[in-house]
Amino acid sequence: MNVEHTTIRRRIIALEKSVGSRLFDKTVNGWVLTLSGQRLLPYAQRIESEAETAQAALKDEEHNLKGTVRIVATDGLGSRVIAPSLAALRQKHPSIEVDLVTTSHLLDYTVGEFDLAVTIGDRPERRGFRQTHLCDYQLRLYASPGYLDSHAPITSLSDLAEHNLIWFVESLLQLPELRDSQNEEISAHANIVFRTTNIFAQLEAAASGGGLGLLPCFLAHSDPRLLPVLHNEVHPQRNYTMVVPSRLLNAELVTTVASHLFSDTQRRHELFIPPMPEV
């Protein structure tokens, strides 16, 4: 850093005095952050990132964005849609770094937890955050060819009574949008034989012949191991919402990533709601 240790220490003392809290503790292994220091760290990292971006804007006529964006998203969308989309963005902005955290839990609005989040459903308005409708998507029933060949034909919802269903562990399900009357009607007609909290486990169980799976189209529709079942009759629709903390709405790094994800998602409408099969 080309700065004397004593100078760094004086600056830390001045910062601690300014914020009114101790930020570091001395241990036998060196200095470590206190709880207050850990809370302040995400803000400090963003300040550093914005400072680097500002310097780059002054030095680089093409304005190559630089910094880290922390994104929280659901398991399925994060893995199958957001990850490849951001890989494409980095071809244009190779200095952008991404921390992608996927989860099946409700969005945690803890300050400093994310720069951008994508969650299922329309969340209640929350002060300090801007919400944007990202896209609609459908869930449909899928099963493997082997399963369908070895079980009774399915021509209506009532036929599900003779079939195995792969489902959610509802007692652990923290996304209420996946627990509604449409889903309850489907589960009431079939024999639930396998439950899991992980969408990819549901996908693999269905592809392996374990039964019927109610799966997001963007995960299952193009999977060659699966065939559609009752798509004209069973197609509950949900939506994704993009959330950005209000304090970051003027951060070019974050808005660039958010705009890219929005545009890319809108462009790929048929990935989320494929055309219905002809009757």
Answer whether 42-134+239-272 and 137-238 agree in fold.
yes
What are the extents of the domains in the chain?
5-39, 42-134+239-272, 137-238
Instruction: Tokens for 62, please give them.
Output: 């093409």
Instruction: Map 212-264 to HEC letters.
Output: EEEEEHHHHCCCCCCEEECCCCCCCEEEEEEEEEHHHCCCHHHHHHHHHHHHH
Q: What is the pLDDT of residues 159-205, one digit of tens each?
A: 988 899 998 876 545 555 455 556 667 777 778 889 888 899 999 99
Give alpha helix (H) positions in the chain. Answer: 5-19, 35-59, 75-77, 83-92, 145-149, 181-189, 199-207, 217-220, 252-267, 269-272
Q: Quickly name the fold that domain 137-238 has.
A: D-Maltodextrin-Binding Protein; domain 2 (3.40.190)
Q: What is the pLDDT of residues 246-279, one digit of tens each?
A: 988 888 899 999 999 999 999 999 999 999 877 5
- The pTM assigned to this predicted structure is 0.73
Mean pLDDT of the chain: 85
What interhelical angle do 83-92 and 252-267 show, nearest 10?
A: 120
Q: Quickly name the fold that domain 42-134+239-272 has.
A: D-Maltodextrin-Binding Protein; domain 2 (3.40.190)
